[in-house]
Amino acid sequence: MSEWVLSIEGTEAGHRAAMFLALLAAFLHAVFGSLQKGRIDPWLSRGAIDAAQVVLALPIALFLVPHPVGSEWLLIMGALPIHFVYKLGMALAYSRGAFTVVYPVVRGMGPVFTVIGAYFVFNEVFTLVQWLGVLVLLAGIFGLAVYNLKTIQVARDTLVPALWLAAGTGALVAFYTTYDAYAIRGTPDPFTFLAWFFVICSLDMPILAALRWRKMTTRPELGTLTRLGISGALIAFGSFGSVMLATRLVKVGEPAVLRETSTVFAALIGWLILRETVGPRRIALMTLIAVGAVIVELGG
Q: How is 251-294 classified by DSSP, letter by letter?
A: -SHHHHHHHTTHHHHHHHHHHHTS-----HHHHHHHHHHHHHHH
Whole-prediction pTM: 0.80
Taking alpha carbons only, the member of 265, 259, 258 closest to residue 297 is 258
Q: Residue 116 and residue 211: Cα distance in Å, rounded? A: 38
Weakest-pLDDT range from 19-23, 36-40, 204-208 = 36-40
Q: Residue 30 and residue 270: Cα distance in Å, rounded? A: 10
Say yes or no to pLDDT of 188 above 70. Answer: yes
Taking alpha carbons only, the member of 191, 221, 206 closest to residue 52 is 206
Say yes or no to pLDDT of 290 above 90. Answer: no
> Distance of alpha carbon 257 from its chain centroid, rounded?
12
| Cα atoms in the Cβ-side hemisphere of radius 13 Å centred on 32 | 25
Tell me: the pLDDT tens digits for 104-123?
Answer: 777 777 777 777 777 788 88
Averaged pLDDT for residues 127-132: 85
Say yes or no to pLDDT of 300 above 80. Answer: no
Say yes or no to pLDDT of 172 above 70. Answer: yes
Cα angle at 193 between 187 and 194, to 5 degrees?
145
Q: Residue 274 and residue 267: Cα distance in Å, rounded? A: 10
| pLDDT for position 274 | 65
Longest dimension (CA), the chain: 56
Tell me: the pLDDT tens digits for 23-70?
Answer: 898 889 888 777 766 677 878 888 999 999 999 999 999 999 999 998
260, amino acid identity: E
